[in-house]
């Protein structure tokens, strides 16, 4: 058997196994796993390294039309580079509707943007609270094109859907075998609470969490679960931030309802206390739902370890801090309602979860692979091509140095944002080599591979 490349002698880890061995690949696909494979045309000595499936980041915002009037910093080039350098080989951004275009037309527009990607990708769709008839036609057209995951919002002007519309979307997508991603916060409560705070003159950033407390997320998660049960749909509660919301998910799962859940590093490496400040700097931690502080992160980690969460994604939402598009540009004083919510995190997702999950003993290496690569690939119809090391899978492989002390600095990252919320945090492992379909695109500080080599991966029906 001839191999283009053999990765030799590393500790190979999948969602279910771990063993020392070699991986041989040919024409961009994994062709054999074993011991003492024949020499390849090229070789990587992986002794002392971990060899994992490339990460699949199933939630990131890239080059969308301005959301709440704010412009995202990353295009597909910078975002895909950043992802690759952090060990992610497939990502799933959102087609968001462009003003004046249908969703199908917006998909065409977005595909053209994604043509600059360094890594492979597949799309979700963001739904606006449009006229129901328009929405129905749009959803059907996209389902017919193989897009099977739709995100709806229970908050945000222009996006917030009422229960009837949510039922309509869920039943339509559910009947077609798709999945509905739910941003679960009660927008009316957030408005009401926010107005009261503003009336009392409490406009500083420290009030952001009080305007969207846990109960607002808990109520929305509970309602989304009930609506999904009525509509007979499978749903994914995205970016779960609190113990209260997690309890609702556990309740639903105990009843056997098809409710899946995602959380993200900003809730697991909780810096919610940094949102207690009224200084501009707090804006670097401001995202929706808010990181809660207190014991929420520990409760979420317990949920992750116990299997209450299916996937861990970044929710990369890179609004700059400075500059004309920056968070600071939205108001002369820091005001909790005027700073666009969102934080960058594509490149730091895996090292942070590795550190706070695996290194700290909260989850196993197999769980790490499952939560960050295999499960997102399965849930969104990309498996076994992605998220796996099986023969026939794409050779998307990441070599990790498990003993690579690194202090996170924005200066070392590759996104187009101008800060990281994790500045100065120490981690002890980092992805050192990233292969995408057998091609080295990140090798110990060196970047290679042509922008535009990334492909859209056709989706199978969700598993």
Q: Quote the least distance from Cβ 268 to ligand DUC, whole Å.
A: 15
Calculate the alpha carbon distances from 265 to 196, 297, 392 in Å: 31, 9, 31
Q: Rule CB under 6 A: is residue 143 a binding residue for ligand DUC? A: no
Q: Quote the least distance from Cβ 413 to Zn ion, whole Å.
A: 19
Calculate the alpha carbon distances from 203 to 193, 285, 291, 336 in Å: 12, 17, 18, 6
- Closest to ligand DUC by CB, 183 vs 243, is 183
Ramachandran angles phi, psi of 223, nearest 5°: -65, -40
Calculate the alpha carbon distances from 114 to 121, 280, 334, 396, 463 in Å: 8, 33, 34, 19, 25
- Closest listed residue to residue 64, CA positions, set 119, 120, 123, 118: 123
Q: Quote the least distance from Cβ 317 to Zn ion, whole Å.
A: 6
Interacting residue ranges for Zn ion, rule: CB under 5 A:
183, 315
Q: Rule CB under 6 A: is residue 345 a binding residue for ligand DUC? A: no
- Closest to ligand DUC by CB, 68 vs 167, is 68
Contact pattern from residue 93 through residue 112 relative to ligand DUC, giving x for each residue in contact according to CB under 6 A and a dash for the rest: --------------------
Any idea which residue has 């909260």 for tokens? 362
**Residue 342 binds which entry of ligand DUC, Zn ion, none, with Cβ cut-offs from 5 to 8 Å by kind?**
ligand DUC
Q: Rule CB under 6 A: is residue 174 a binding residue for ligand DUC? A: no
* Contacts of ligand DUC in 29-88 (CB under 6 A): none
Count the alpha carbons within 13 Å of 174 in the hemisphere toward its beta carbon: 18
Q: Quote the least distance from Cβ 64 to Zn ion, whole Å.
A: 10
- Closest listed residue to residue 279, CA positions, set 320, 339, 347: 339
- Closest to Zn ion by CB, 183 vs 386, is 183
Q: Quote the least distance from Cβ 160 to ligand DUC, whole Å.
A: 12
Q: Is 450 exposed, middle or buried (0-12, 13-18, 19+ CB in 10 A)?
A: exposed
Q: Quote the least distance from Cβ 182 to Zn ion, whole Å.
A: 9
Residue 323, C-beta contacts closer than 8 angstroms, at least 6 positions apart: 329, 418
- Closest to ligand DUC by CB, 261 vs 395, is 261
Q: Rule CB under 6 A: is residue 341 a binding residue for ligand DUC? A: yes
Q: Quote the least distance from Cβ 340 to ligand DUC, whole Å.
A: 7
Q: Rule CB under 6 A: is residue 317 a binding residue for ligand DUC? A: yes
- Closest to ligand DUC by CB, 189 vs 398, is 189
Q: Rule CB under 6 A: is residue 117 a binding residue for ligand DUC? A: no
**Residue 326 binds which entry of Zn ion, ligand DUC, none, with Cβ cut-offs from 5 to 8 Å by kind?**
none
At residue 230, the 3 state secondary structure works out as helix
d(CA 139, CA 217): 26
Q: Rule CB under 6 A: is residue 342 a binding residue for ligand DUC? A: yes
Q: Rule CB under 6 A: is residue 265 a binding residue for ligand DUC? A: no
The residue nearest Zn ion at its CB is 183
Cβ contact 329:323 at 8 Å: yes
* Contacts of ligand DUC in 266-285 (CB under 6 A): none
CA-atom Rg of the chain in angstroms: 21
Among 83, 235, 246, 287, binds ligand DUC (CB under 6 A): 287
Q: Quote the least distance from Cβ 98 to Zn ion, whole Å.
A: 18
Q: Where are the alpha helices (DSSP H) in 98-144?
A: 103-114, 132-144
Q: Quote the least distance from Cβ 21 to ligand DUC, whole Å.
A: 41
d(CA 363, CA 368): 7
d(CA 139, CA 200): 43
d(CA 376, CA 116): 23
- Closest to ligand DUC by CB, 44 vs 184, is 184
- Closest listed residue to residue 450, CA positions, set 181, 117, 217, 153: 117
At residue 94, the 3 state secondary structure works out as strand
d(CA 94, CA 287): 17
How many residues sit close enough to ligand DUC to count as binding (CB under 6 A)? 6
Other Cβ atoms closer than 10 A to 104: 18
- Closest to Zn ion by CB, 179 vs 429, is 179
Q: Rule CB under 6 A: is residue 387 a binding residue for ligand DUC? A: no
**Residue 341 binds which entry of ligand DUC, Zn ion, none, with Cβ cut-offs from 5 to 8 Å by kind?**
ligand DUC
Q: Quote the least distance from Cβ 407 to ligand DUC, whole Å.
A: 25
At residue 207, the 3 state secondary structure works out as helix
Q: Rule CB under 6 A: is residue 236 a binding residue for ligand DUC? A: no
Among 183, 274, 410, 437, binds ligand DUC (CB under 6 A): 183
* Contacts of ligand DUC in 402-421 (CB under 6 A): none
Q: Quote the least distance from Cβ 70 to ligand DUC, whole Å.
A: 9
| Residues in contact with ligand DUC by the rule CB under 6 A | 183, 287-288, 317, 341-342
């Amino acid at each position: 058997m001839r191999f283009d490349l053999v990765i030799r002698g590393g500790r190979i880890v999948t969602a279910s196994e771990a063993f020392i061995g070699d991986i041989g690949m040919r024409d961009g696909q994994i062709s054999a796993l074993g011991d003492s494979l024949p020499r390849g045309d090229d070789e990587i000595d992986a002794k002392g390294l971990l060899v994992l499936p490339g990460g699949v980041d199933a939630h990131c915002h890239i080059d969308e039309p301005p959301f709440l009037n704010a412009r995202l910093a990353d295009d597909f080039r910078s975002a895909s580079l950043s992802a690759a350098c952090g060990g992610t080989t497939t990502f799933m951004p959102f087609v968001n509707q462009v003003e004046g275009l249908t969703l199908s037309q917006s998909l065409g527009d977005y595909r053209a943007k994604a043509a600059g990607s360094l890594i492979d990708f597949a799309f979700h769709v963001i739904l606006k609270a449009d006229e129901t008839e328009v929405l129905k036609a749009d959803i059907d057209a996209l389902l017919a094109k193989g897009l099977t995951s739709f995100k709806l919002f229970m908050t945000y002007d222009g996006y917030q859907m009422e229960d009837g519309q949510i039922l309509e979307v869920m039943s339509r997508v559910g009947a077609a075998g798709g999945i509905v991603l739910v941003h679960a916060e009660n927008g009316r409560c957030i408005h009401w609470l926010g107005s009261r705070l503003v009336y009392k003159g409490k406009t500083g950033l420290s009030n952001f969490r009080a305007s969207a407390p846990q109960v607002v997320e808990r109520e929305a998660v509970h309602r989304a679960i009930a609506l999904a049960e009525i509509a007979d749909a499978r749903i994914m509660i995205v970016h779960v931030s609190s113990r209260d919301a997690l309890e609702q998910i556990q309740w639903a799962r105990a009843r056997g309802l098809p409710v899946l859940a995602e959380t993200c590093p900003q809730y697991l490496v909780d810096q919610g206390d940094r949102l207690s400040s009224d200084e501009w700097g707090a804006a670097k931690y401001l995202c929706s739902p808010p990181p809660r502080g207190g014991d929420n992160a520990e409760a979420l980690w317990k949920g992750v370890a116990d299997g209450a969460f299916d996937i861990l994604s970044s929710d990369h939402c890179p609004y700059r801090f400075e500059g004309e598009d920056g968070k600071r540009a939205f108001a002369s004083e820091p005001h909790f309602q005027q700073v666009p919510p969102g934080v960058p995190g594509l490149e730091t997702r895996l090292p942070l979860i590795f550190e706070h999950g695996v290194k700290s003993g909260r989850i196993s290496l197999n769980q790490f692979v499952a939560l960050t690569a295999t499960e997102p690939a399965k849930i969104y119809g990309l498996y076994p091509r992605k998220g796996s090391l099986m023969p026939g899978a794409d050779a998307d492989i990441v070599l990790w140095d498990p003993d690579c002390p690194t202090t996170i600095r924005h200066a070392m990252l590759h996104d187009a944002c101008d800060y990281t919320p994790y500045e100065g945090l120490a981690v002890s492992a980092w992805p050192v080599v990233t292969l995408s379909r057998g091609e080295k695109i990140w090798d110990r500080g060196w970047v290679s591979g042509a922008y535009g080599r990334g492909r859209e991966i056709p989706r199978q029906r969700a598993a």
